[in-house]
Amino acid sequence: MVRWDLPDLCRFMLATGVRIGEALAVRWADVNFDSGSVAIDHTIVRFKDDGLRRKATKTATGERTLILRRPRWRCCGGGRQKPRRMLRQARGSDGFAWVASHAFRKTAATILDEAGLSARVIANQLGHARPRLTQDVYMTRNTG
């Protein structure tokens, strides 16, 4: 039986705001424990005839080094089998169907927004070329 590393994967995604494929593509060589940073420059993609493959991010903006606030964390490792399916099974359907991997990305962006960081800083964290996309999709609107 394959051990599910969902808690580690979820923590990493919440702490960084990276996409699920980016989180799964992280290798130990990408982590610098001395500086408390992680290089995000690859993603895991599923090809119909070839299975899972690690490939470079789509754009240069997607390549980034993230500084982690707390350097004591455990990396989620690389290429686990069908993490989206495992997440769906773990969350069940009663009341938690809305919890998808992208919810972690949006949560990280919300935390950064509420901390008063600029749209440019949040866009850099998420790997967006345009802060406008970050503002329109990920940042909260002041409704008060």
> Hey, what amino acid is at 34?
D
Question: Helix (H, G, I), strand (E, B), or coil: what is residue 143?
Answer: coil
Say if domain 6-137 classifies as CATH 1.10.1060.10.
no
* pLDDT value of residue 54: 94
**C-alpha span between 54 and 47 (Å, rounded):** 10
* pLDDT value of residue 56: 94
* pLDDT value of residue 26: 95
pLDDT digits (tens, 9 = 90+) for 62-110: 899 998 865 333 444 444 456 667 666 766 666 666 677 778 888 888 8
Angle at the Cα of 84 (from 64 to 58), degrees rounded to 5? 30
**Contacts for 39 with CB less than 8 Å, ≥ 6 apart:** 30, 31, 32, 63, 64, 65
pLDDT digits (tens, 9 = 90+) for 6-32: 778 888 888 888 998 999 999 999 999
* pLDDT value of residue 69: 66
